[in-house]
Amino acid sequence: MERKWWQKVTVYQIYPRSFQDSNNDGIGDLKGIISRLDYLEKLGIGAIWLSPVYSSPNDDNGYDISDYRNIMKEFGTMSDMEELIDEANKRGIRIVMDLVVNHTSDEHSWFIEAKKSKDSKYRDYYIWRDPIDGSEPNSLKSCFGGSAWQYDEQSGQYYLHFFSPKQPDLNWENPEVREEVYDMMNFWIDKGIGGFRMDVIEMIGKQPDKMISSNGPKLHEYIKEMNQKTFGNHDLLTVGETWGATPDIAKLYSDPERNELSMIFQFEATTLDQIDGKPKWFTKPLDVLGLKHVLSKWQTCLEDRGWNSLFWNNHDLPRAVSQYGDDGIYRIESAKMLAIVLHLLKGTPYVYQGEELGMTNCKVEDISEVDDIESRNMYFEEIEKGTPKEELINRINRKGRDNARTPMQWDGTENAGFTKGTPWLHVNANYHTINAKACLEDENSIFYTYKKLIDYRKKNDIVVYGDYEMVDDVPDDVFVYLRKYRGQMLLVCANFTNEFRRINLDKFGRQTSFISNYDEGVIDLSSKVLKPYEAFAIEVK
Ligand code: NOJ
């Protein structure tokens, strides 16, 4: 496989609303991001995935776009955006835009026109159906709860929205829609961006009359067309958000010979804590053996054709250390352990803002503190049904999307240095101890574990291209894997528990670790007692 820049970089995800406010209106903005580029350069990342910054009424915090060619007022101006692209490029950091084209906002001019008249050319940009027996055309559900169909009084028809009613789905069957999207993508490519993260891209081939939402029959045809008409001739990173991808589907997207995408985000590991067949809110304890098998499956299935993305969390998921580690007494150890495990796998790693500080979930006591539309919809639907408030708040504290969206914790001053105004979402009270300033001043901090791993990847092709192999003869909740490349071998070992665990890997004997979350140095692998959440990596001699 031809080598690409995006195989070697580490990507950092910014949720702009929560990253850095520069004008003290309580909302993060582009100038704020620019002011923090030196911090990101220090961390060593090579690209930023920027969650949406386009004009939006913010029903779903920017994932409802009303103008793809303009910047959200609260975030700044197009010239700020150009400055961001420029300043980032100067530091060797490329900007990956969030491409949200499964749907627009209902305040997008296309939808406003579509609603005005059935004869408008824009009507067919969206998906309209007549009522059946006086109600919804079928039983398709919105990902945010309730029906996926919204009734429009004026025309007497329903339109499709797989997310909120303020996010009507675009009709990808219409070639004009596809051309509009490609034009818009080229507008951004011409501005010098580094690629696209593609929001719920697996849904663009939907066939609502056949009850198909994801992985529709024309999906790959559309992606190939998009590739050919936009980024195909540019050296860009493209990553599709695909909740329903299996390994075979992942190969369709990321096999370079098929000319589709660089890679996808698949979510199998992140959903292992869910009770089968139930919504995301119903959870069970982490099954480490299951996690090892899922990670291993994805490492091996894309070995020859295709490419993996590597991530623990994002703006829709709980904080990594809260979900997979221990956000109490072993917060630092377990956050470093998660970094070591992920960053030495094969694929492109993604760091979600604050993960490099070990930021944690943030508990609320009442729904009035919750901003996230998904959590709020679930809460009010369930309250109607009589589910106790305490149970619902527990669910939100465990899985709600605001956990990842509380403001970035820069220092110990008011509002964690995020804003001098009133933050749009509460700051996690632990910012006095968990913040970037404290991390930067402590050479043993989580930040420097990330930095070291990111630098190591840059300098060592074995991390980027080496083969992967899981080591079996260890306790179920200890994860050991090997990477092999041109006669070299790496061994990575991680204890996923808050207890001691013994491993006996006789054939490796005494080795020296190059990174560890306890003390680095000589380790006797033939008889080693791992401390709680202990993790290390070795260049096997
Ligand atoms: C996936 C995004 O990551 C999420 O934040 C958003 O709500 C939905 N897609 C709808 O755009």
Ligand 1 contact via 63 beta carbon (within 6 Å): yes
Q: Specify the DSSP class assigned to residue 96.
A: E
Q: Specify the DSSP class assigned to residue 14.
A: E
Instruction: Report the nearest atom of ligand 1 relative to the CA of 60.
Output: 7
pLDDT digits (tens, 9 = 90+) for 255-265: 999 999 999 99
pLDDT at 57: 98
Instruction: Report the nearest atom of ligand 1 relative to the CA of 316.
Output: 5
- Residues spanned by CATH 3.20.20.80 within the chain? 3-102+174-363+404-448
Cα 199 to ligand 1 centre (Å)? 6
Across residues 13-29, what is the average pLDDT? 98
Ligand 1 contact via 316 beta carbon (within 6 Å): yes
Rounded distance, CA 404 to CA 337, Å?
A: 19
Three-point CA angle 298, 304, 310, nearest 5°: 35
> CATH assignment of 466-538, given 2.60.40.1180, 2.60.220.10, 2.40.30.10, 3.30.390.50?
2.60.40.1180
Q: Which CATH architecture has domain 103-168?
A: Alpha-Beta Complex (3.90)
Ligand 1 contact via 75 beta carbon (within 6 Å): no
Across residues 386-405, what is the average pLDDT? 98
Per-residue confidence band for 512, with pLDDT thresholds at 50, 70 and 90: very high
DSSP string, 461-517: HHHHH-EEEE--SS-TTEEEEEEEETTEEEEEEEE-SSS-EEE--GGG-EEEEEEES
Rounded distance, CA 249 to CA 498, Å?
A: 36
Q: Which residues pair with 158 in a beta bridge?
A: 129, 151
What region, left, alpha or beta, does residue 494 occupy, with left being phi > 0 and alpha being psi -120 to 50 degrees? beta
pLDDT at 436: 99
User: By C-alpha distance, which of 188, 169, 174, 168 is closest to 82?
Assistant: 188
Across residues 103-119, what is the average pLDDT? 98
Cα 136 to ligand 1 centre (Å)? 24
pLDDT digits (tens, 9 = 90+) for 476-508: 999 999 999 999 999 999 999 999 999 999 999
Q: Is 70's pLDDT higher than 90?
A: yes
- Residues spanned by CATH 2.60.40.1180 within the chain? 466-538
Ligand 1 contact via 163 beta carbon (within 6 Å): yes
β-strands 11-14, 348-352 pairing = parallel
Ligand 1 contact via 100 beta carbon (within 6 Å): yes
Q: Ligand 1, residues 13, 17, 60, 204: which to mutate, most atoms within 8 A of Cβ?
A: 60
pLDDT digits (tens, 9 = 90+) for 133-145: 999 999 999 999 9
Give the pair of three-digit tokens for residue 344. 């030495």
Ligand 1 contact via 169 beta carbon (within 6 Å): no
Q: Which residues pair with 484 in a beta bridge?
A: 467, 489
Q: Which residues pair with 239 in a beta bridge?
A: 197, 263
Provide the residue count of the chain: 541
pLDDT digits (tens, 9 = 90+) for 178-191: 999 999 999 999 99
Cα 164 to ligand 1 centre (Å)? 10
Q: Which amino acid is at 89?
A: N
Ligand 1 contact via 402 beta carbon (within 6 Å): no
pLDDT at 520: 78
Per-residue confidence band for 338, with pLDDT thresholds at 50, 70 and 90: very high
- Residues spanned by CATH 3.90.400.10 within the chain? 103-168
H or E, element range at 69: strand 67-71
Atom 8, ligand 1: residue with shortest CA distance: 63
Contact 262, 211 (CB under 8 A): no
Q: Is 2's pLDDT higher than 90?
A: no
Q: Is 24's pLDDT higher than 80?
A: yes
Contacts of 388 (CB under 8 A, 6+ apart): none
Which residues does the annotation mark as catalytic? 199, 241
Proportion of the chain above pLDDT 70, given as a percent: 100
Q: Is 1's pLDDT higher than 80?
A: no
pLDDT at 461: 97
Cα 63 to ligand 1 centre (Å)? 6
Q: 210: number of CA atoms within 13 Å, CB side? A: 9
Give the pair of three-digit tokens for residue 293. 């098998």
> Strand, helix or coil at 191?
coil
pLDDT at 519: 87
* Cα-Cα end-to-end distance for the chain: 28
Atom 10, ligand 1: residue with shortest CA distance: 63
Per-residue confidence band for 296, with pLDDT thresholds at 50, 70 and 90: very high
Q: Residue 337: is it exposed, middle or buried by C-beta count within 10 angstroms (0-12/13-18/19+)?
A: buried
pLDDT at 119: 97
Proportion of the chain above pLDDT 90, given as a percent: 99
Three-point CA angle 462, 532, 528, nearest 5°: 65
Cα 509 to ligand 1 centre (Å)? 48
Across residues 66-94, what is the average pLDDT? 98
How does the average pLDDT of the chain come out, rounded?
Answer: 98
Q: Which amino acid is at 395?
A: R
pLDDT at 445: 98
Give the pair of three-digit tokens for residue 158. 């329903």
Contact 30, 75 (CB under 8 A): yes
Q: Ligand 1, residues 59, 65, 203, 316: which to mutate, most atoms within 8 A of Cβ?
A: 316
Ligand 1 contact via 65 beta carbon (within 6 Å): no
Q: Which amino acid is at 345?
A: L
pLDDT at 147: 98
SS (H, E, C) 46-60: CEEEECCCEECCCCC
Across residues 339-352, what is the average pLDDT? 98
Strand boundaries in 146-208, DSSP class E: 149-152, 157-160, 195-198
Ligand 1 contact via 200 beta carbon (within 6 Å): yes
Atom 11, ligand 1: residue with shortest CA distance: 63
In CATH, the number for domain 3-102+174-363+404-448 is: 3.20.20.80
